[in-house]
Amino acid sequence: MNSEWKAKTLKRVGALKGGSGFPLDEQGFSVDEMELPFYKVKDLATPKYLRETDNYVSYETAQKLGASIFRAGTIVFAKVGAALLLNRFRQLFCDGCIDNNMMALELEQTHSKDFFLHLLNTLDLSQNFNQGPVPSVNTRQIGEIKVVVPPLVDQNLIAAYLDASCDVLNTALAAKRRQLQMLDELRKDVIQQVVTRGLDQQPELRKTGNAWMEEVSLGWDLVCLKRVSELQGGLTLGKTYSGPLVERPYLRVANVQDGHLDLNDVTLIEVPAEVAKRVELRVDDVLMTEGGDLDKLARGFLWNGEIPNCLHQNHIFAVRCFHHKLLPKFLTYLTASRYGRDYFEATGKKTTNLASTNATKVGAFPLPLPSVHEQARLVEYLEDQLESLRTLQNNLQTQISTLLAYRKSLIHECVTGQRRITEGDVTLGKTLISPK
Asked whether the predicted pLDDT for residue 328 surpasses 90, the reply is yes
Taking the C-alpha atoms of residue 331 and residue 124, their distance in angstroms, rounded to an integer, is 45
End-to-end CA distance of the chain: 37
Which tens digit of pLDDT belongs to each residue from 137-153? 888 889 999 999 999 99
Q: What local confidence, expressed as pLDDT, does residue 309 receive? A: 94
**Minimal CA–CA distance to 105: which of 80, 78, 81?**
78
CB proximity list for 126: less than 8 A, separation 6 or greater:
85, 135
Per residue in 217-273, pLDDT tens? Answer: 999 999 999 999 999 999 988 888 888 999 999 998 888 876 778 898 899 999 999
pLDDT at 32: 43
Please state which of the ranges 14-28, 201-215, 334-348 shows the lowest mean pLDDT: 14-28
Q: What is the pLDDT of residue 92?
A: 94
The CATH number corresponding to 6-149 among 3.30.230.30, 1.20.120.550, 3.40.50.720, 3.90.220.20 equals: 3.90.220.20
Min mean pLDDT across 2-11, 102-111, 360-369 is at 2-11
pLDDT in tens, 341-356: 999 988 988 876 678 8
Say how many CA atoms lie within 13 Å of 70 toward its Cβ: 30
- Contact by Cβ (8 Å): 426, 161: yes
Range of 75-89, 249-263, 392-406 with top mean pLDDT: 392-406
Does residue 23 surpass a pLDDT of 70? no
Confidence at residue 196, expressed as pLDDT on a 0 to 100 scale: 94
Question: Residue 235 corresponds to which amino acid?
Answer: L
pLDDT at 29: 42
Q: Residue-wise over 13-30: b if at least 16 C-beta within 10 A, else e?
A: bbebbebbebbeebeebe
- pLDDT, one tens digit per residue, over 402-413 is 999 999 999 999
Q: What is the pLDDT of residue 435?
A: 44
Query: Between 11 and 429, where is the model more confident?
Result: 11
189: CB partners within 8 A, 6+ apart: none
Q: Give residue 382's pLDDT.
A: 96
CB 17 within 8 A of CB 106: yes
Least confidently predicted of 9-23, 24-38, 51-65, 285-299: 24-38
pLDDT, residue 64, reads 80
pLDDT of residue 436: 39
Whether residue 15 is predicted with pLDDT greater than 90 in this model: the reply is yes
Q: Measured on CA atoms in the order 55, 57, 62, 64, is the torsion positive or negative?
A: negative
**pLDDT value of position 434:** 47
Q: How large is the average pLDDT for residues 62-67? A: 82
d(Cα 95, Cα 163) in Å, to the nearest integer?
22
Instruction: Say if residues 229 and 319 touch (Cβ distance below 8 Å).
Output: yes
What class is the 199-369 domain? alpha beta
Angstrom CA distances, 415 to 161, 277, 319, stand at 11, 60, 55
Average pLDDT over residues 40-69: 86
Average pLDDT (192-196) is 95
- pLDDT, average across residues 288-302: 80
Q: What is the pLDDT of residue 299?
A: 81
| Mean pLDDT score of the chain | 88
In this predicted structure, the answer to whether residue 298 has a pLDDT above a threshold of 80 is no
What confidence tens digit (pLDDT) does each residue in 267-280 have? 999 999 999 999 99
- Is the CB of residue 135 less than 8 Å from the CB of residue 85? yes
Cα dihedral angle (92, 94, 95, 98), rounded to 10 degrees? -40
User: Is residue 328 within a helix (H) or strand (E), and if so which, with residue range?
Assistant: helix 328-336
319-338 average pLDDT score: 95
Q: Which residue has the higher pLDDT, 61 or 251?
A: 251
Using CA atoms, how far apart are residues 54 and 74, in angstroms rounded to an integer?
20
- Domain segments of the chain: what residues? 6-149, 151-181+379-436, 199-369
